[in-house]
């Protein structure tokens, strides 16, 4: 019955969503006006003269682009329990995330913003059901990777990881199907938690599995080891769908399909504590539908201008295809001109669809090349097409002061299966990087840099690295790029490099 009803509900929601999909700019203008009006009498609104803002041009004049550290005084007031700081009243929850210079970050979740997180996760599944006419998975067991649902109390505000907070909003009709159990979900130690999840799920009729790709790989490998089976399909015969988020799925796709034993439908999503930004609305392409009626007014700054004194700052109507932008959020949780640190690339303007191309804080530009995540992922993807290999994980760092010769980019790659011709693989990877980034190409041509070097990480090495820094599991992931040798140095210190 649930599968039957899900199809009707999916049709209703997809038709309803078409209104903003077909009128994107109108809805974005409406959201900006609603946000400004709602927050006019907050501390932030008064400090930034919201009463004078009549247009997007006015908004840019009064509200600068900032990150968490630059807005920390406002967030600190919110955490203290004060009202009417960034948004009317007090938030219902604070989502706890890892910060940089400020340590732990506390992102407010309001009564207006929480439904956008919950409904977006639901709608991603409903778009899939509507397109494929497959709703059978709702009858089986589903596992959603989540942080502990136990919430702390801070000045009468409930605090937890976004995934743990979201666990309190799983609809009743899915509760009986959901794994793992509450007792397992609250386990803090990641390896213990994964082992318990394996025991709880190994004999279940799993039809949907959700998690970030590195976690999925770890979970699948444990399942196969414990069961003695050849692949995941022989354990979960009715597994139909995966839902992923947090990182680009493409670099992990081949490895995950190998572990499963077949290609499987996958829905990619782009959730963040600051807002649910996009999800994959069709199986025909991997790009993500930008959610334009979700309590968020978006702004964009071209990546190559971001560190300028006066970078271009535009709204949705002025974006271009295949250009990388830093995405800026203004939300009904009280974020204003907020840089979450991600870069996106538009693949379509009708409808507006994106790929997450990297992190503005995660880049390699030790020599002025400003290589971003999308470029290294594309270079590796194209190389593997020519010299087949299965990649488990990778990251890139500059080597500015080598013992001999010119500086270079060092790629740390953990292979499940290595290319037959490793030297040719490395040469091709450098060629593909030169195609991806003209600055890198110029540095190689000008003998400023020499060709990249691939250092092979031992099996399980990336997990060992994450464990060594206390970030194994959960939503934690290794940066694709670094502008220093901090990660590289730990690889060498832990003897994780085999050649």
Q: Which pLDDT score, from 0 to 100, does residue 420 have?
A: 95
Extract the tokens encoding 476.
């934690």
> Concatenated DSSP letters for 214-228?
HHHHHHHHHHHHHH-
DSSP 52: G
Q: Which domains does the chain have, with CATH numbers?
A: 1-358 (3.40.50), 373-493 (3.30.300)
Tell me the residue ranges of DSSP E strands in 374-487.
390-399, 408-417, 453-457
- Number of other residues whose CB lies within 10 A of the CB of residue 402: 12
Q: Which residue has the tokens 């702390």?
A: 152
Extract the tokens encoding 85.
């700081």
- Number of other residues whose CB lies within 10 A of the CB of residue 498: 12
Residue 66 phi/psi, 5-degree rounding, is -145, 165
Q: Which pLDDT score, from 0 to 100, does residue 169 have?
A: 78
Q: Is 151 left (phi over 0), alpha (psi -120 to 50) or beta?
A: beta
Cβ pair 71, 334 in contact under 8 A? no
Cβ pair 244, 237 in contact under 8 A? no
Q: Which pLDDT score, from 0 to 100, does residue 97 have?
A: 82
* Residue 238: strand, helix, or coil: coil
Residues of the chain whose pLDDT is less than 70? 98-103, 145-146, 171-175, 473-475, 499
Q: Assess whether the previous peptide bond of 61 is cis (omega < 30° from 0).
A: no
**What does the pLDDT look like over 350-376, one tens digit per residue?**
999 999 887 777 778 788 787 888 889
Q: Which pLDDT score, from 0 to 100, does residue 175 have?
A: 64
Q: Which pLDDT score, from 0 to 100, does residue 151 have?
A: 85
Closest CA to 244 of 217, 205, 222, 221: 217
DSSP 204: S
Q: Which pLDDT score, from 0 to 100, does residue 171 have?
A: 66
Crossing angle of helices 114-132 and 2-22, rounded to 10°: 110
Extract the tokens encoding 462.
């990336």
Q: Which residue has the tokens 């999840």?
A: 197
Q: Which pLDDT score, from 0 to 100, does residue 309 have?
A: 86
Q: In what order do the strands lie in the sheet with 157-160?
A: 104-109, 93-98, 157-160, 152-154
Cβ pair 301, 328 in contact under 8 A? yes
Q: In what order do the strands lie in the sheet with 352-359?
A: 178-179, 141-144, 206-210, 241-245, 265-272, 275-279, 288-290, 352-359, 338-349, 324-331, 296-302
**What does the pLDDT look like over 465-475, one tens digit per residue?**
988 988 776 66
Element (H, E) at 200: helix 190-201
Element (H, E) at 435: helix 422-436
Full-model pTM: 0.82
> Concatenated DSSP letters for 66-113?
B-TGGGHHHHHHHHTT-SSSSSSS--SEEEEEE-STTSEEEEEE-TTT
Q: Which residues of 228-239 are buried (b: 16+ CB within 10 A; e: fewer)?
A: eeebbeebbeeb
* Residue 33: strand, helix, or coil: helix
């Amino acid at each position: 019955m649930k599968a039957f009803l899900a199809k009707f509900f999916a049709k209703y929601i997809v038709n309803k969503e078409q209104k903003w999909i077909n009128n994107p700019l109108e809805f974005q203008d409406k959201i900006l006006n609603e946000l400004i009006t709602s927050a006019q009498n907050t501390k932030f609104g008064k400090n930034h003269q919201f009463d004078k803002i009549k247009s997007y041009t006015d908004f840019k004049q009064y509200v600068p682009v900032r990150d968490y550290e630059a807005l920390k005084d406002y967030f600190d007031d919110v955490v203290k329990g004060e009202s009417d700081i960034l948004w009317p009243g007090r938030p219902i929850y604070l989502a706890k995330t890892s910060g940089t210079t400020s340590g732990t970050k506390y992102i407010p979740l309001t009564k207006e913003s929480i439904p956008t997180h919950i409904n977006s996760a639901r709608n991603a599944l409903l778009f899939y059901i509507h397109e494929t006419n497959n709703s059978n998975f709702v009858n089986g067991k589903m596992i959603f990777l989540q942080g502990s649902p136990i919430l702390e109390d801070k000045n009468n505000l409930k605090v937890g990881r976004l995934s743990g907070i979201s666990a309190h909003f799983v609809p009743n009709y899915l509760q009986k199907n959901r794994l793992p159990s509450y007792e397992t979900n609250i386990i803090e130690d990641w390896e213990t938690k994964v082992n318990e999840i394996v025991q709880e799920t190994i004999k279940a009729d799993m039809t949907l599995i959700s998690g970030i790709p590195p976690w999925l790989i770890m979970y699948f490998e444990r399942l196969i080891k414990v069961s003695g089976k050849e692949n995941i399909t022989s354990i979960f015969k009715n597994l139909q769908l995966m839902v992923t988020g947090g990182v680009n799925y493409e670099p992990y796709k081949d490895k995950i399909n190998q572990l499963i034993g077949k290609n499987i439908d996958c829905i990619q999503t782009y959730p963040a504590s600051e807002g649910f930004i996009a999800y994959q609305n069709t199986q025909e392409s991997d790009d993500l539908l930008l959610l334009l009626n979700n309590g968020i007014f978006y702004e964009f700054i071209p990546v190559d201008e971001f560190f300028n004194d006066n970078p271009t700052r535009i709204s949705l109507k002025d974006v271009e295809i295949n250009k990388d932008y830093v995405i800026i959020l203004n939300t009904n949780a009280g974020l204003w001109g907020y840089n979450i640190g991600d870069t996106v690339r538009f693949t379509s303007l009708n409808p507006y669809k994106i790929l997450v191309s990297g992190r503005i804080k995660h880049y390699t530009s030790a020599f002025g090349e400003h290589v971003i995540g999308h470029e290294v992922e594309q270079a590796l993807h194209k190389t593997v097409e020519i010299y087949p290999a299965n990649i488990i994980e990778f990251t890139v760092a500059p080597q500015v002061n080598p013992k001999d010769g010119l500086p270079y980019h060092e790629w740390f790659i953990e292979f499940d299966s290595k290319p037959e011709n490793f030297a040719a693989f490395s040469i091709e990877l450098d060629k593909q990087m030169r195609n991806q980034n003209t600055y890198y190409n110029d540095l190689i041509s000008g003998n400023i840099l020499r060709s990249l070097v691939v250092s092979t990480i031992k099996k399980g090495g990336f997990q060992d690295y994450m464990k060594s820094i206390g970030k194994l599991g959960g939503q934690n992931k290794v940066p694709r790029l670094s502008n220093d040798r901090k990660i590289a140095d730990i690889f060498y210190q832990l003897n994780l490099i085999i050649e």
